[in-house]
Amino acid sequence: MQDVTIIIPNYNGKRLLENCLKTLEKQTYKGFKVLVVDNGSKDGSVSVTSEVLDMEIVSLTENLGFCGAVNLGIQKTKTPYIILLNNDTEVDEQFVEALLNAIQRSKQIFSCGAQMIDFKNHEILDNAGDLYTALGWAVARGKGKRCADYEKAVRVFSCCAGAAIYRMDVLQRIGGLDEYHFAYLEDVDLGYRARIAGYENWYEPEARVYHVGSATTGTRYNEKKVFLAARNTIFVIYKNMPSIQIVLNSPFILLGIFVKTLFFMKKGFVHEYWRGMKEGVRDCKKCWKVRYRKQNLWNYIYIQIELWINIFRVLSGK
């Protein structure tokens, strides 16, 4: 009996995908299926096979982005849990087992994210869960720091969808990834919605993944990535914060935009950043906004306190 479906979005990543699947073949836990959703690749990715895995490839004729590919995979999933996994990863042998054990600790847990480790330096972290702040910034917790300092399972704001497990019944209740995002910050938005509904997101260091990072986009900063991240920043704020919360956070949000503007001026991407901001403001109402419910008031309060606290965590480098 299968408990987990591993959904791997892919776009022109044949070599990466082959390598990722080889590590999945060595898992200690075997009760999972692999579903590769290919976004119209031209490099022969759809020909990739495995003699060991229960595997299916869904071939799309166009690039629907990370969100569109994942949502299609979710529609085809019948297991109680899904794992979202980037193709530019190698996983430890206990990866699936560790994530499954972690999420089964409590029915209040919506997602658990793996310890994502730098592919070139296995002593350095790439991600230990995501922080979200009142500045409107989403920050990869622990990025660039020693893995040894992040060996404790803790609650986080959200999990990086590059290597995380999700509870399907909750996912069906709060909705899947918002396809208007296309890519970037869609996992923060998803984790945010779960938090509003009263669920928890956890970081699980026993599940280890070695991550190349930006393998599909090519570099950490590029025009498309900066544009999408800027636009989706506005989407996350508009969708998940009631109007009064947006007003409350507006001084922090404006400060965050100012600092990012200076940052991208130095990087040479300020035009793309502001273009994304403008499109986010213009198109945010196309996204489906989370409906405010009185029974979730305390969840909003707890989240707001965390947004303030996370400013200091980010500034202090914790």
CATH numbers and ranges of domains, the chain: 4-211 (3.90.550.10)
Q: For residue 96, count CB atoms less than 10 angstroms from its CB and return exposed for 0-12, middle for 13-18, buried for 19 or more.
A: buried
pLDDT digits (tens, 9 = 90+) for 15-42: 999 999 999 999 999 999 999 999 999 9
Give the Cα separation of 294 and 125 in Å (integer). Answer: 39
The Cα 239–Cα 243 span in angstroms is 10
CB 39 within 8 A of CB 11: yes
Which amino acid, residue 214? S
Tokens standing for residue 142 = 């622990």
For 96-152, what is each residue's pLDDT tens digit? 999 999 999 999 999 999 999 999 999 999 999 999 999 999 999 999 999 999 999
Span 37-50, mean pLDDT? Answer: 95
Mean pLDDT of 203-226: 82
Tell me the C-alpha distance between 129 and 123, whole Å: 17
- Are the beta carbons of 240 and 153 closer than 8 angstroms? no
What's the mean per-residue pLDDT of the chain?
95
Lookup: tokens for 118? 């730098």
Give me the mean pLDDT over the 242-265 stretch.
Answer: 97
- pTM of the model as a whole: 0.95
**Is the pLDDT reported for residue 285 higher than 80?**
yes
Give the Cα separation of 287 and 110 in Å (integer): 22
> How many whole angstroms separate alpha carbon 100 and alpha carbon 299?
26
